[in-house]
Amino acid sequence: MGPPAGPEAASGPTPQASGSGLASALAAGGIPSAALEAYVRAASATPAACHIAWPLVAAIGRVESNHGRFAGAVLHVDGRSTPPIIGVALDGAGAALIRDTDGGRLDGDPVYDRAVGPMQFIPSTWRAYASDGDGDGRSDPFDIYDAAAATAKYLCAAGGDLSSVAGQTRAVLAYNHSDSYVATVLTLAAAYAGTPPPLLPTTSAEPMPTVPPANPAPPPAITADLPPAARVASAADASASTPSTGRAAGAAAVSPPSATAAPALTDPAAPTTTAPPASTTAPTGASPSSGASPSSGASPSSGASPSSGASPSSGAPPSSGASPSSGAPPTGCSTGAVPGAPATVDIANGSGDPAAATGLASRLAAAGIQVGAVTTTDALTSAVQYPVGQRPQAGVLAVVLGLVGSERLAPVGHVTVVIGARDSGRLRGPQPVC
């Protein structure tokens, strides 16, 4: 493959300061259940010495392909997207020059390589890190289970011990040689984990990675799948940073010549479809073997950093206007029960005040909801987390607790109310849950 581009020259605010608003906008769309399962599996399958956590894999999945949903693609429960996601030709025309290394087997292009799949591996790097994340006996970069496993394997190889910010920086810088990419991914990973954003230096002290990049192109899903307001802010902020050279344009969801469409399966509890972004051409289904670049819209800047006021993306959890199938919560408290609410709710207290959890537990119990585990967390904002299959129940609870819009899929055993350190007051008070 061709030589990778060097890290970006730093300018303006520190990466984490400029990336916090962008990370919030990127995280707003949630994570489809199939993608979340893939990320958790991938992280748990790595050597213990790596210390990788699933949010880091998830952050890369978001910026590379919006968790397999880039440009309106649909991620199915079997881990494959339709149409498959394939990047533009790396032909040196405003992009890195990487001539074909696989005879077009993965990307359908016998002349130049293209990044493929939800984690956007170029074929040559995929060969080195190909993995079987779902145990079906195949290694397929278009399968998010396999691709996530390969990403975790790659990050561990590139970064070593990822328990520190320095290790994570080494790993992510190898994946894509861009300081702004590192800042966005690490800040987004912190958002998924519910932890404060990491403190990153203004300039990277890390030497150039010794492993080839997984994808030398700017990550297409950083801005293309955001709502218009977030994209405008992102483009404005990007003018303050210096982009890398020799990068490819964004990816597009296109069908390779030999691709077999995945079955039209969906997770009814956690829909995975999103509307195509206004500024991105919808998937054309054109074969990349024709030599024409897939339609990808404007190439996003990898250093984009919109304001924190970005509106949530179209993949956000349902709003309070959508009534769960079990009916809306009652307006009175005569029966002490909330129809449609989860039977058992765990509490994760990040306020530092045990009384906050005790008070919430009492309110839930008065509404006929059993309180399960009560744990502590370092989350900053209050939210309702839910496991696969319990999105409607989480929506009911979010309505009655005044946390509408905070619902998100998470690796939890029960619907969990998170009491945030910054806004614990939203869950305090004598008012009953009804």
Q: Where are the domains of the chain?
A: 15-257+270-277, 344-427
- How far apart are the C-alpha atoms of 64 and 70, rounded to whole Å? 8
In the predicted structure, residue 241 carries a pLDDT above the cut 50: no
Q: What average pLDDT score do residues 172-195 get?
A: 91
Q: What average pLDDT score do residues 41-62 get?
A: 96
More confidently predicted of 409 and 139 = 139
Which residues, 6 or more positions from 239, have their beta carbon under 8 angstroms from its beta carbon? none
Amino acid 88: pLDDT: 86
Lowest-pLDDT choice from 129-133, 174-178, 239-243: 239-243
Q: What average pLDDT score do residues 396-405 get?
A: 84
More confidently predicted of 302 and 29 = 29
Give yes or no for a cis peptide into 411 (omega within 30° of 0): no
More confidently predicted of 407 and 310 = 407
In the predicted structure, residue 42 carries a pLDDT above the cut 80: yes
Q: If you average pLDDT over every residue of the chain, what do you get?
A: 72
Q: Position of tokens 């509408």?
A: 404
In the predicted structure, residue 255 carries a pLDDT above the cut 50: no
- Contact between 190 and 58 under an 8 Å Cβ cutoff? The reply is no
Lowest-pLDDT choice from 37-41, 262-266, 424-428: 262-266
Which residues, 6 or more positions from 134, have their beta carbon under 8 angstroms from its beta carbon? 38, 41, 79, 143, 145, 146
In the predicted structure, residue 169 carries a pLDDT above the cut 90: yes
- Contact between 148 and 54 under an 8 Å Cβ cutoff? The reply is no
Tell me the pTM.
0.53
In the predicted structure, residue 4 carries a pLDDT above the cut 80: no
Amino acid 208: pLDDT: 55
Pick the CATH number of 344-427 from 3.40.50.150, 3.40.50.2300, 3.30.70.2390, 3.40.50.300: 3.30.70.2390
Percent of the chain with pLDDT over 90: 43
Q: What average pLDDT score do residues 41-70 get?
A: 96
- How far apart are the C-alpha atoms of 409 and 31, rounded to whole Å? 6
Lowest-pLDDT choice from 38-42, 183-187, 218-222: 218-222
Lowest-pLDDT choice from 82-86, 217-221, 226-230, 268-272: 268-272
Q: What average pLDDT score do residues 93-116 get?
A: 91
pLDDT category, 408, cuts 50, 70, 90?
confident
- How far apart are the C-alpha atoms of 387 and 214, rounded to whole Å? 31
In the predicted structure, residue 145 carries a pLDDT above the cut 90: yes
Amino acid 406: pLDDT: 86
More confidently predicted of 247 and 398 = 398
Lowest-pLDDT choice from 124-128, 275-279, 334-338: 275-279
In the predicted structure, residue 95 carries a pLDDT above the cut 50: yes
Amino acid 428: pLDDT: 79
pLDDT category, 210, cuts 50, 70, 90?
low
In the predicted structure, residue 363 carries a pLDDT above the cut 50: yes
More confidently predicted of 240 and 171 = 171
Lowest-pLDDT choice from 14-28, 88-102, 241-255: 241-255
SS (H, E, C) the chain: CCCCCCCCCCCCCCHHHHHHHHHHHHHCCCCCHHHHHHHHHHHHCCCHHHCCCHHHHHHHHHHHHCCCCHHHCEECCCCEEECCEEECCCECCCCCECECCCCCCCCCCCCECCCECCCCECHHHHHHHCCCCCCCCCCCCCEHHHHHHHHHHHHHHHHCCCCCHHHHHHHHHHHCCCHHHHHHHHHHHHHHHCCCCCCCCCCCCCCCCCCCCCCCCCCHHHCCCCCHHHHHHHHHHHCCCCCCCCCCCCEEECCCCCCCCCCCCCCCCCCCCCCCCCCCCCCCCCCHHHCCCCCCCCCCCCCCCCCCCCCCCCCCCCCCCCCCCCCCCCCCCCCCCCCCCCCEEEEEECCCCHHHHHHHHHHHHHCCCEEEEEEECCCCCCEEEECCCCHHHHHHHHHHHCCCCCCEECCCCCEEEEECCCCHHHHCCCCCCC
pLDDT category, 295, cuts 50, 70, 90?
very low
In the predicted structure, residue 315 carries a pLDDT above the cut 70: no
Amino acid at site 115: A
Amino acid 93: pLDDT: 81
- How far apart are the C-alpha atoms of 302 and 7, rounded to whole Å? 11
Please give the backbone phi and psi of residue 348, each rounded to the nearest 5 degrees, phi first: -115, 110
In the predicted structure, residue 43 carries a pLDDT above the cut 90: yes
pLDDT category, 319, cuts 50, 70, 90?
very low
